[in-house]
């Protein structure tokens, strides 16, 4: 292990994967463990959380699996309590939850709007609500604060060619939320930052996105998305995980209230 997170106690929300391969949260959880962190792998899918924790264990790292619906405050409180009971505190919170909802304000249903809002944004509010007091107590007791890394999306700051009004709005809102937390808690030794992935080739894009591109042809969808990127191909979960690792580590001790865009240059294009 390179040890960039040696001695850190991390919670990764959304640590499973929505299908075969590497999702952003799964990659982050495994990478954090490789770098020396103890990781609580949280996911609404019990099998997915267990799979990620199992990969960490097979590699000789330390991880626990926890199943929770992070739109429910009592379940979030329970997962934080589990981490504290196991390891005595929380140094890193990496929030990696997001679902899509196809359609603009007219096409999307009210149910879709509310569901996406709860999953993508209310869950971030709840995880911070329960983690921040732990980090505050740590700082008061030992000067050891913490780092929060929230995964947003470039869809929150620019058009990506598909009408996802609920997704775009909630992912955009992650940015000011993180800035607000960062500034409120800066003197308590707590940093908060966001990572904005661009078009990524992860399991999440296959089922939820396939109907929005190329009539459901997954391979054609991937080709279209690759062609949209200045690099000629989408990024992957490890690109997001390494950006998260930097922000979670002490290398970023003076980095807070900001965003890292991980998009292969697509947001720099005029059109």
Annotated active-site positions, please?
Answer: 167
Query: How many Å is the Cα radius of gyration of the chain?
Result: 18
Diameter of the chain by CA atoms? 57
**103 DSSP 8-state letter:** B
Query: Reading across the β-sheet that carries 190-197, which strands appear in turn?
Result: 62-67, 38-43, 9-13, 92-95, 146-151, 190-197, 259-262
**Closest among 203, 240, 175 to 45, alpha carbons compared:** 203
Token code pair at residue 33: 């463990």
**Closest among 116, 128, 112, 146 to 73, alpha carbons compared:** 128
**Closest among 240, 258, 234, 202 to 17, alpha carbons compared:** 202
**Closest among 16, 31, 148 to 92, alpha carbons compared:** 148
């Amino acid at each position: 292990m390179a040890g960039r997170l040696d001695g850190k106690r991390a919670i990764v929300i959304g640590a499973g994967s929505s299908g075969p391969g590497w999702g952003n949260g799964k990659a982050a959880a495994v990478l954090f463990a490789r770098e020396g962190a103890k990781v609580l792998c949280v996911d609404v899918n019990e099998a997915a959380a267990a799979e990620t924790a199992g990969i960490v264990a097979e590699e000789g790292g330390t991880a626990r699996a926890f199943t929770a619906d992070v739109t429910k405050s009592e379940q979030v409180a329970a997962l934080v309590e589990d981490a504290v009971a196991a390891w005595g505190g929380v140094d890193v919170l990496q929030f990696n939850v997001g679902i899509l909802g196809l359609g603009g304000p007219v096409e999307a249903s009210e149910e879709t709007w509310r569901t996406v809002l709860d999953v993508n944004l209310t869950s971030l509010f709840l995880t911070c609500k329960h983690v921040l007091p732990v980090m505050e107590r740590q700082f008061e007791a030992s000067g050891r604060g913490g780092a929060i890394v929230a995964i947003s999306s470039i869809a929150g700051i620019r058009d990506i060619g598909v009408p996802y009004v609920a997704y775009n709005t909630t992912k955009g809102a992650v940015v000011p939320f993180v800035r607000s937390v960062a500034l409120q808690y800066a003197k308590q030794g707590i940093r908060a930052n966001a990572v904005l992935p661009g078009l990524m080739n992860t399991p999440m894009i296959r089922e939820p996105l396939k109907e929005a591109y190329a009539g459901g042809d997954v391979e054609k969808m991937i080709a279209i998305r690759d062609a949209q990127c200045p690099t000629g191909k989408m990024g992957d979960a490890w690109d997001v995980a390494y950006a998260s690792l930097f922000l979670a580590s002490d290398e970023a001790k003076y980095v807070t209230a900001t965003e890292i865009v991980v998009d292969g240059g697509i947001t720099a294009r005029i059109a």
